[in-house]
Structure 1
């Protein structure tokens, strides 16, 4: 019977290829974790913005925002201003078209914002 032995050079080449493959796998896993963290953060920001906008639209601006609605460690501010739509595009009613701006603030910096036009009852907002 013939015995097959590997040379030291063949073993070293196999080990280098194996180590390279494991290194690439670990690098890919690290990149995936970073992408997941960014996506989670973006989702939290979007969730907090939409929760604040929904709360303001349902309860009006006279009620304080409920902090239990928010996931992230953000401060949420909102304001109403005049809409950019032209007057001929606005329906005649007792509601006026206003632009609602919701800002997500962390450490004094604006992280993200949501701007939407909405109908508001007359007298239910401050300019």
Structure 2
């Protein structure tokens, strides 16, 4: 984290807060959609096509919630690393994650080279 200036750290802290707020708002919004989707008057199944569409919508809704929860976890972990002074250090090689990468991806846990290697290993 020594490679980041105080202004960098402050800007990244603010950015993480904004991302977290956005994800929490999205989770609140989708929770509202979930409550309204349970209303039997709005989603009366009339045919197999309607039933399939309702099933597809429910699956998509669950996937969106899981993505938001994972993103929230990533943001909170980044905030924890920031608080502990471990932010901006690659979890694989231990080198500094370049400032430009952190600005583009504030929740990054790996430098670009290690991230590419990690993704290549998971494709197999």
| TM interval, short-chain normalised | 0.3 to 0.5
Length-normalised TM-score, structure 1: 0.35
**Bigger strand fraction:** 1
Length-normalised TM-score, structure 2: 0.35
**Bigger helix fraction:** 2
Q: Which has the higher contact order (CA 8 A, sep 6+)?
A: 2
